[in-house]
Structure 1
Amino acid sequence: MMGPVLAACLLIILSTAWISQANGATCKKDGGVCTCNDNTKSVDCSSKGLTAIPSNIPVDTDRLELHMNKLSSLPHTAFHGLNKLTNLNLNYNKLQTLPAGVFDHLVNLDYLSLSTNELKYLPPKIFDSLTKLTWLNLERNKLQSLPHGVFDNLAKLTRLELFNNQLRRVPDGAFDYMSKLNWITLENNPWDCSCRDILYLSNWIREKKGTVSNIEAAECDGGTKAVLDVTEEEAAEDCVYPNTTTAIPTTIITTLASSNDDDIPELPVPQENFQKFLGYQEPDHLPTQPQCLMSISGYLGLMMSLVLTSAAILYVIHFLKKA
């Protein structure tokens, strides 16, 4: 009766080996697609056509290059465990949303670039853990609004790039806590200078003129005048911008929590926006297996594991029939 037992053990071992192979290794030297430099602690996964973050990124990685891939979404645990990371480049992907908490473990991050993606909004508190960040690049996205307080914890930030988005306003106090900021790109946004909401930005630009570079480049929608020159008389309207944020204001949440069911008002927030805010993804949008499986060695290892696993199954069946 030892035959089936041994075969079962072999099956378990081979299954474990197959799972390990499926998880794959990040670095080319281990059969992955990324280039790893042990001396500089950098991992370069750029321009690989990736649709998911590769697995097994070394925990001591200092610099991670993921630009020029096809990433459309990120799991909220994408960078958990990489608390040594100081430089993260996600330029030129297809990111449409960011899950809450995705950057929470990157407490030593100095540089973060999300340029040239398809982001329409930012989750509240998305940057709260990045207290050492000095450079944040959000240019060339589709941002329509910014959450209140989204930059409040970025006291060390020196450079902020918001160039070429769809911003019409920023919340009051949006830039107040970035005392070390010396460069900002605000141009190529449709700033609405007819609405009272623009006055915070206009006053902030006047206050920081001469200390923050490029600050005067922000222009009203249509290029009619500089945001710097907007007066209170010109920005007299109280404007409302529907469908420009997916976050539910804290005041509404507090009101709902303290109200009776009969008093709860209907909120004009589309269902798909709730799904995006909660990080929901349809099953066909879930990340695929890491692209390290696409290497030749990955295929060969996978095929070998399948062959050996099949042999072990047949071996078990053979001995069970004899028994």
Structure 2
Amino acid sequence: MMGPVLAACLLIILSTAWISQANEALCKKDGGVCSCNNNKNSVDCSNKKLTAIPINIPTDTENLKLDYNSLSSLPNTAFHNLNKLTFLDLGYNELPTLSAGVFDHLVNLDKLYLNKNQLKSLPPKIFDSLTKLTWLTLSENQLQSLPHGVFDSLTKLTYLSLQNNQLPSVPEEAFDSLEKLKMLQLQENPWDCSCRDILYLRNWIREKQGNVSNIEAAECAVGNKAVLEITEKDAASDCVSPNTTTAIPIGTMTPASVIYDDIHEIKVPQENFQKFLGYQEPDHLPTQPQCLMSISGYLGLMMSLMLTSAAILYVFHFLKKA
């Protein structure tokens, strides 16, 4: 009777190994792309020179670090299987824009870092699904304007950083929904205090002064005058806001990133090859170590399946003889 018992034990061990293999294909200690802490559901892909996001990130991941890489675009579906994420760091990459629905499935996200990229604008409603977000970092980008209502769904936000961008003003009612806000970083922007558009920001700063930290640091681009100190006479010009246009209504504009993604998804051969290797983004082939990692992961899964099947047959054989 020892034969069936040993076989059953082997079956349990191999089944466990097969399940963990599926979740840890990208987290091997012997040179895998990312490192994982399964106890904390954390995946660290920081500083790996990645040009695309691996598709085999475990679906139960809660903390994902992708900072200090070379990401220049994010497909719409980049995070669609990661709805348990509470922490996402995309800082220190090369993102010039964001796809309209890239964050739509991250309904449990608490902290989002987008600092130190090359963002010049944000798609309308980009943050609408992030209703649990408390921390948002957009500092050190090239934002020239904000869409109307872009922060309206972030009613739990306590920290927002917009410093070191190219913002001359913010839309009317831009911060009115942020009732929980405790700190707002506005410094190092070229606030245009000669335009009437700036008066909303001035009034909001005066109202929230003492309740929201650091907002007094916002200064006019000319004259080194604090925004909260400007008068109606200072802001007498009827300037045209940079986030409005008479040529094309902003609500009907299609983000360039969406068009870009759609065009490249038509190129089936290269994309299918990359998906087989474990990568989403169609314009970048993975490096040799990444290819080896992905292939070895699949081979490991196949081997586990074969061994598991053999163990099952072994158990049945001894049970039948018994």
TM-score range, shorter chain: 0.7 to 0.9
**Distance change in 2, residues 1:132/1:48 (3 Å):** same
**Distance change in 2, residues 1:101/1:116 (3 Å):** same
Could you tell me how far 1:249 is from its partner in structure 2?
3.3
Q: Which residue of 1 aligns with 2:276?
A: none
Q: Which residue of 1 aligns with 2:65?
A: 65
Could you tell me how far 1:71 is from its partner in structure 2?
0.1
**Distance change in 2, residues 1:101/1:61 (3 Å):** same
Q: Which residue of 1 aligns with 2:256?
A: 276
* 1:230-269 deviation line (CA, Å, top 9, x unaligned): 111111111125588898334xx5xxxxxxxxxxxxxxxx
Q: Which residue of 1 aligns with 2:306?
A: none
Distance of 1:141 and 1:292 partners within structure 2? 32
Unaligned ranges ≥5, structure 2: 1-23, 268-280, 300-322
* 1:131-163 deviation line (CA, Å, top 9, x unaligned): 000000000000000000000000000000001
Distance of 2:297 and 2:90 partners within structure 1? 30
AA matched with 2:235: A
Could you tell me how far 1:55 is from its partner in structure 2?
1.5
SS at match of 1:27: coil
Q: Which residue of 1 aligns with 2:221?
A: 221
AA matched with 2:284: T
- Tell me if 1:288 matches 2:284: yes
Distance of 2:69 and 2:288 partners within structure 1? 14
Distance of 1:292 and 1:178 partners within structure 2? 46
- Tell me if 1:249 matches 2:245: no
Q: Which residue of 2 aligns with 1:320?
A: none
| Contact kept in structure 2, 1:145 and 1:169, CA below 8 Å | yes
**Distance change in 2, residues 1:206/1:297 (3 Å):** closer
| Contact kept in structure 2, 1:32 and 1:292, CA below 8 Å | no
Distance of 2:86 and 2:249 partners within structure 1? 32
Distance of 1:81 and 1:275 partners within structure 2? 23
Could you tell me how far 1:293 is from its partner in structure 2?
5.2
Query: Once superposed, what is the RMSD of the aligned Cα atoms?
Result: 2.8
Distance of 2:186 and 2:296 partners within structure 1? 51
Unaligned ranges ≥5, structure 1: 1-23, 254-272, 304-323
- Tell me if 1:185 matches 2:185: yes
Distance of 1:216 and 1:160 partners within structure 2? 14
Range with bigger deviation, 235-244 or 122-131: 235-244
Q: Which residue of 2 aligns with 1:32?
A: 32
| Contact kept in structure 2, 1:31 and 1:298, CA below 8 Å | no
* 1:25-56 deviation line (CA, Å, top 9, x unaligned): 32225973100111000000000000000121
Distance of 1:162 and 1:29 partners within structure 2? 38
Could you tell me how far 1:286 is from its partner in structure 2?
3.8
| Contact kept in structure 1, 2:33 and 2:293, CA below 8 Å | no
Q: Which residue of 1 aligns with 2:205?
A: 205
Q: TM-score, normalized by length of structure 2?
A: 0.74
| Contact kept in structure 2, 1:98 and 1:123, CA below 8 Å | yes
Distance of 1:84 and 1:247 partners within structure 2? 37
Could you tell me how far 1:290 is from its partner in structure 2?
5.2
What are the equivalent positions in structure 2 for 1:1-323 lying under 5 Å apart?
25-29=25-29, 32-241=32-241, 248-250=249-251, 276=256, 278-281=258-261, 283=264, 286-289=282-285, 294=290, 296-298=292-294
Could you tell me how far 1:129 is from its partner in structure 2?
0.4
| Contact kept in structure 2, 1:54 and 1:292, CA below 8 Å | no
Q: TM-score, normalized by length of structure 1?
A: 0.73
Range with bigger deviation, 207-216 or 284-293: 284-293
**Identity rate, percent:** 62
Distance of 2:45 and 2:204 partners within structure 1? 39
SS at match of 2:206: helix
**Distance change in 2, residues 1:242/1:210 (3 Å):** closer
**Distance change in 2, residues 1:147/1:277 (3 Å):** farther
SS at match of 1:112: strand
Could you tell me how far 1:280 is from its partner in structure 2?
2.2
Range with bigger deviation, 148-157 or 239-248: 239-248
For this pair of structures, how many residues does the alignment match? 259
